[in-house]
Amino acid sequence: MSVGTAIYLDDLHVGQTFTSGEFALDAQQIIDFARQFDPQPFHLDDAAAQNTFFKGLAASGWHTAAITMRLLTSCVPIGSGVIGAGGDIQWPRPTRPNDSLHVVCKILDIQPSSSKPDRGMVTTECLTLNQHGEVCQRMVSKLMVMRRPQ
Amino acid sequence: MSVGTAIYLDDLHVGQTFTSGEFALDAQQIIDFARQFDPQPFHLDDAAAQNTFFKGLAASGWHTAAITMRLLTSCVPIGSGVIGAGGDIQWPRPTRPNDSLHVVCKILDIQPSSSKPDRGMVTTECLTLNQHGEVCQRMVSKLMVMRRPQ
């Protein structure tokens, strides 16, 4: 599929995989996000973070989730948008300053809607990996995807 | 429990509820978050959003999640921090410009760790409600909570 082509429910199949580019994260981005949305010592200050569960500055899980969304919008070109109804999210390890993140998103299931023939629900597994190939976030979520407009 | 008192695993019980203050959201905040993390038309521009699934400007679900975290850090004063291992998140309806959000967080279950006696896993349900009392986000998540330091 060529880059830039909008895709629809009809173009998806189970097992299909999308891989994003890299997102470079630094300490200042971690701190800026935390000041706005998750102002706890282990997300704000490396020295203060040493004596916490994280033993050093770590990104808020919600920052990792937001970066994951940014990467998904750039690599999953669904014509009707990447629209999630919800899902299950886990953070097996923290995201750290100077991590470079990318996302691998795999289609697990496709269910055409029985009541609305113009759409379907697509279950995806999205892994957010750091530069060592370690999983920082695993998310299984349901996306609402439209069929190609007639 | 007086405001400002740090609480620990020992202080929590099933059924306990924490209610946050209000967070006032406006269109500019929605657009600023979306530009950074979820640059899709329905999160960036009200006119462009009219012809989409959302039929008007809507906040990214990850923005609602981030605001929820901000509210939780202000109303759940766990001494070791509000540290989530993951959970299940759903957005039954969009968050809109000029919504005022608050969070109600209820403790569903408490499991002391069998291998690490200084901590436990606490399951919570956090509802993020708008000014009409409608649920914009429901999250069931597991928090790692330390016992009171000896």
State the ipTM, two decimals: 0.95
Residue A2, in any domain of the structure: no
Q: What pLDDT is stored for residue B4 in this prediction?
A: 59
Q: A48 in a domain, yes or no?
A: yes
For chain A, give the mean pLDDT. 95
CA separation for the pair A13, A78 (Å, rounded): 13
Query: Is A6 in contact with A82 (CB distance < 8 Å)?
Result: no
What is the bridge-based pairing of β-strands B23-24 and B100-112? antiparallel
SS3 A69: helix
Query: Does residue B116 sit within a domain?
Result: yes
Taking contacts as CB-CB distances below 8 angstroms, the residues of chain A near B146 are: 53
Q: What is the pLDDT of residues A41-93, one digit of tens each?
A: 999 999 999 999 999 999 999 999 999 999 999 999 999 999 998 999 999 99
A40 at interface of B, judged by CB pairs closer than 8 A: yes
A67 contact B CB<8A:
yes
Give CA angle at B40 (B36, B42), nearest 5°. 120
B39 CB near a chain A CB, below 8 Å?
yes
B59 lies in some domain: yes
Q: Is residue A3 part of a domain?
A: no
| A62-66, A98-102, B49-53, B129-133: least confident range | B49-53
Q: What pLDDT does residue A2 have?
A: 44
Q: Where residue B18 sits, what CATH number does that domain have?
A: 3.10.129.10
Q: A2 to chain B, minimum CA–CA distance in Å? A: 20
Chain B closest CA to A52's CA: distance in Å?
Answer: 7
Please tell me the total count of domains within chain A. Answer: 1
Q: What pLDDT score was predicted for residue B1?
A: 43
B63: closest chain A residue by CA: A66
**pLDDT band, residue A150 (cuts 50/70/90):** confident
- Segment B17-41 shows an average pLDDT of 98
Query: What is the C-alpha to C-alpha distance for residues A120 and A85, in angstroms, rounded to an integer?
Result: 12
pLDDT digits (tens, 9 = 90+) for A96-114: 999 999 999 999 999 999 9
Q: In the numeric block, which tokens belong to residue A4?
A: 């830039």
With 70 as the cut, is the pLDDT of residue B2 above it? no
Q: Could you tell me which residues come within 8 angstroms of residue A133 by beta carbon, excluding any fewer than 6 positions away?
A: none
Tell me, yes or no, if A80 comes closer than 8 A to chain B by beta carbon: yes
The per-residue pLDDT for A4 is 60
Determine, yes or no, domain membership for A1.
Answer: no
B119 in any annotated domain: yes
How confident is the model over B99-116, as pLDDT tens digits? Answer: 999 999 999 999 999 999
Min CA distance, A46 vs chain B (Å)? 15
> Which tokens hold the place of A50?
């040493």
CB contact under 8 A, B40 and A73: yes
Report CB contact under 8 Å: B36, A69.
no
pLDDT of residue A5: 84
Structural domain harbouring B78: 9-146
Q: Please indicate, yes or no, if residue B56 is contained in any of the structural domains.
A: yes
Question: What pLDDT is stored for residue B5 in this prediction?
Answer: 83
Q: What is the mean pLDDT of residues B86-92?
A: 96
Mean pLDDT score, B128-141? 98
> How high is the mean pLDDT of chain B?
95
Cα torsion for B20, B26, B32, B37, to the nearest 10°?
50
Contact list, B66 vs chain A (CB under 8 Å) = 33, 36-38, 60, 62, 66
d(CA B123, CA B132): 26
The pLDDT of residue B149: 87
Q: How confident is the model at residue A1 (pLDDT cuts 50, 70, 90)?
A: very low
- Which pLDDT value is given to residue B150? 80
A35: enclosing H helix or E strand = helix A27-37
Average pLDDT rounded to a whole number, residues B47-58: 94
